[in-house]
Amino acid sequence: MIAVFKREFLSYFRSPVGYIAIALFSFLSGYIFVNNFATGAVNIASEVISLRSFFVVIVPIITMGLFAEDKKRGTEILYYTSPIDLFSVVAGKFLAAFCLYGIMFVNVFIHMIVTKSCDGIVDIGAWGSVIVFFFLAMLFISIGIFASAITDSQIIAAIFSFIMIMVIQLLSTISSLAGNAIAAFLSMLGVASESSNSVGEAITNGINWLDPFAKTSDFRYGSFSVAPLVFCISFAIVFLFLTFRVLEKKRWAKS
Amino acid sequence: MIEINNLVKHYGDKKAVNGISFTVEDDEVLGFLGPNGAGKSTTMNIITGYLSSTSGTVKVNGHDILEEPELAKKDIGYLPELPPLYLDMTVLEYLNYICDIKQVKRSERKEQLAKIIAMVKITDVADRLIGNLSKGYKQRVGIAQALVGNPSILILDEPTVGLDPNQIIEIRKLIRTLAKDHSVIISSHILSEIQEVCDRVVIINKGKVAAIDTITDLSKRLAGSSKLLLSFKGDAKKIMNEIRSLPGVSDCKIRISDKDIHEAEITVTGNSASDIRTSIFYVMSRNSSPIMEFRSLDPTLEEIFLSITAGT
């Protein structure tokens, strides 16, 4: 696992990918921070929360090549023919992408120091958002890795993870749209409005249950709980396991 | 030693490999031949554990590739058709990475890499990016990769494809050096190469083994009758008749006649072509016609290959 991690992590800096991702993140976080700074209302928590909307761009950039490139170059054969466990390959690549995120995030820590040195406040809510940020990063990176494992084209991997992350980010909108649509459909069929509304509501709630953003929203107010974090980790593990299965399946390929 | 027993691989309805069995002894070089799509690469991929067989077993030094994959894979070095190279790494970084994933002990690493690098002659490019190397060097790095971890078995899938003649000779030399203390399986389209480096050949066709034998035995088996080539000066008609009347000669025909030099192809039935050569010499001597060239026409591997794969 460490070998794969080391290779993948260093390879971010052998190609422009790592630099582009870090530059992009620095620009975005710096832009948000400076904007807040100018108004005199620096809020690290809100900065971190705004940065979450860029997962959709940055995660596909850093994960698209992880497996797709190996397949295209034929180097994936090394994983299958070496006495190495396929899951440790997946874990190594995941860790590499996660650490790259850690390096990007140094920006935010610098902003915290600047805020502190200007007599600003870095409260528990800021730290709460930071924790949530990293758990969400885990979740989205695992989706990106899965996308990269199912295709040998980086572009398709990027598009696929972009769409998946987009859907998760819009989950609260999607859920209310779906709930309303179904309620409207049922009442059109002549179901009493009370019961059709409650079905719609149930569907909205059901989809909302999947929304990691809603689950972790209390962290920014300093109210921590374990369940949402477990949710994110489980989500990530499921996708990493699916990735592992995709790789394993290749061995038994029927075509 | 590799024992392959009744290997079958289905791709949907298509049987890519259909009941292949053979054994590779220790320190033997085995040529693996077959037309495109015969199942060569699939078989090699199964032996190395990249693909799983539908049924059948592969045992590497006694370890089943599916039941004890770690132990089996440790004994195999594989150079696939497309060498698995990371173009963004230097040769040394890459080989160190291979050491990592093949779990070579840190204490042995330096010595082993130095030996491999010297053996495949990549010392002067060790610090260069693999992406900037020529095809021949890339191929050598690929072979170096297969040698990491000191496996007793090497599997090389078309190791000389796309190389220039000098590079081909170099790689062949290298393979012969490696063959001294490794079992080697080589697949190739270049038959002369197989003829040159291999002890035995396995010819497969349509997923089945068409022949397993040493090259000399294969040619004998195929020949049934051997042929001699004779070029000479003198009266072609008279000499032909005399040769035809020799016991054991079944056919004799002129291939080319150029002014006064004639080239004849003599088909000899029976077991020994060597006896007839003496009599032919005396025929020529009696007629005082000078022999310009006289040699036996044993079938080349190309001919063996064609006749075996065409019939099935």
Distance between CA A128 and CA B297 in Å, rounded?
85
3-state secondary structure of B66: coil
Kindly determine whether residue A83 and residue B83, on different chains, have CB atoms separated by under 8 Å: no
Kindly determine whether residue A81 and residue B76, on different chains, have CB atoms separated by under 8 Å: yes
pLDDT of residue A254: 59
Distance between CA A82 and CA B13 in Å, rounded?
30
pLDDT of residue B225: 61
Kindly determine whether residue A82 and residue B12, on different chains, have CB atoms separated by under 8 Å: no
pLDDT of residue B223: 57
B117 contacts B144 by C-beta, under 8 angstroms? yes
- The minimum CA-CA distance between A141 and chain B, rounded to whole Å, is 23
Strands (E) across B25-139 are located at 29-33, 55-60, 63-64, 76-79
Kindly determine whether residue B49 and residue A14, on different chains, have CB atoms separated by under 8 Å: no
A83 CB neighbours in chain B (<8 A) are 69-71, 73-74, 102-103
- The minimum CA-CA distance between A237 and chain B, rounded to whole Å, is 23
Token duo for residue B97: 């990475």
B78 in contact with A at a CB cutoff of 8 Å? yes
Report, as an integer, the average pLDDT of B284-302: 81
B224 pLDDT band, cuts 50/70/90, is: low
pLDDT of residue B156: 92
- Amino acid at residue number A127: W
Kindly determine whether residue B102 and residue A255, on different chains, have CB atoms separated by under 8 Å: no
B71 CB neighbours in chain A (<8 A) are 83
Kindly determine whether residue A74 and residue B87, on different chains, have CB atoms separated by under 8 Å: no
- The minimum CA-CA distance between A84 and chain B, rounded to whole Å, is 6
pLDDT of residue B100: 92
Tokens 């928590």 locate to A45
Chain B residue closest in CA terms to A69: B86
Report CA-CA distances (Å) from A190 to A185, A223, B169.
9, 44, 84
pLDDT of residue B98: 94
Distance between CA A84 and CA A104 in Å, rounded?
30
Task: Give the one of B82, B84, B101 whose C-beta lies nearest to A3's C-beta.
Answer: B101
| A175 or B310: which leads in pLDDT | A175
SS (H, E, C) chain A: CHHHHHHHHHHHCCCHHHHHHHHHHHHHHHHHHHHHHHHCCCCHHHHHHHHHHHHHHHHHHHHCHHHHHHHHHCCHHHHHHCCCCHHHHHHHHHHHHHHHHHHHHHHHHHHHHHHHHCCCCCCHHHHHHHHHHHHHHHHHHHHHHHHHHCCCCHHHHHHHHHHHHHHHHCHHHHHHHHHHHHHHHHHHCCCCHHHHHHHHHHHHHHHHHCCHHHHCHHHHHCCCCCHHHHHHHHHHHHHHHHHHHHHHHHHCCCC
Q: Lowest mean pLDDT of B71-75, B92-96, B258-262, name the range.
A: B258-262
- The minimum CA-CA distance between B79 and chain A, rounded to whole Å, is 10
Residue B237, pLDDT > 70, answer yes
Report, as an integer, the average pLDDT of B103-122: 91
Residue B90, pLDDT > 90, answer yes
B47 in contact with A at a CB cutoff of 8 Å? no
Strands in B55-60's sheet, in edge-to-edge order, are B14-24, B2-11, B55-60, B63-64
pLDDT of residue B221: 65
- The minimum CA-CA distance between B104 and chain A, rounded to whole Å, is 11
B86 CB neighbours in chain A (<8 A) are 7, 11, 73, 75
Q: What is the pLDDT of residues B157-173, one digit of tens each?
A: 988 887 888 888 888 88
B161 contacts B189 by C-beta, under 8 angstroms? yes
Token duo for residue A131: 């924790």
In chain A, which residues touch B (CB < 8 A)? 2-4, 6-7, 11, 14-15, 73-84, 251-255
B102 CB neighbours in chain A (<8 A) are 82-84
pLDDT of residue A78: 92
Chain B residue closest in CA terms to A252: B52
Q: Lowest mean pLDDT of A158-167, B78-87, B197-206, B208-217, name the range.
A: B208-217
Task: Give the one of A6, A77, A252 whose C-beta lies nearest to B52's C-beta.
Answer: A252
Chain B residue closest in CA terms to A79: B101
Report, as an integer, the average pLDDT of B180-202: 84
pTM of the model: 0.84
- The minimum CA-CA distance between A247 and chain B, rounded to whole Å, is 11
A74 contacts B82 by C-beta, under 8 angstroms? yes
Report, as an integer, the average pLDDT of B192-211: 84
- Cβ neighbors of A62 (< 8 A, separation 6 or more) are A12, A17, A18, A21, A97, A100, A101, A141, A144
Cα–Cα–Cα angle for A113, A169, A161, rounded to 5 degrees: 100
Q: Which of A66, A81, A87, A250 to mutate to test binding with chain B, by most B CBs within 10 Å of its CB? A: A81
B52 in contact with A at a CB cutoff of 8 Å? yes
Residues of chain A with pLDDT under 50: none
Kindly determine whether residue B51 and residue A251, on different chains, have CB atoms separated by under 8 Å: yes
Interface A-B: count of C-beta contacts within 8 A: 72
Task: Give the one of A75, A254, A255 whose C-beta lies nearest to B84's C-beta.
Answer: A75
Maximum mean pLDDT: which of B178-192, B220-234, B268-282 = B178-192
Distance between CA A86 and CA B259 in Å, rounded?
72
- The minimum CA-CA distance between A155 and chain B, rounded to whole Å, is 20
pLDDT of residue B272: 54
B58 in contact with A at a CB cutoff of 8 Å? no
pLDDT of residue A101: 94
Kindly determine whether residue B100 and residue A2, on different chains, have CB atoms separated by under 8 Å: yes
Chain A residue closest in CA terms to B71: A83
Q: What is the pLDDT of residues B20-55, one digit of tens each?
A: 999 998 888 999 888 877 888 889 999 998 888 888
Kindly determine whether residue A83 and residue B102, on different chains, have CB atoms separated by under 8 Å: yes
Q: What is the pLDDT of residues B257-283, one digit of tens each?
A: 777 788 887 777 765 555 678 888 888
Residue-averaged pLDDT of chain B:
85
Q: Lowest mean pLDDT of A76-85, A121-130, B207-216, B220-229, name the range.
A: B220-229
Kindly determine whether residue A7 and residue B10, on different chains, have CB atoms separated by under 8 Å: no
Tokens 């709930």 locate to A179
- The minimum CA-CA distance between A57 and chain B, rounded to whole Å, is 24
| B267 or B137: which leads in pLDDT | B137
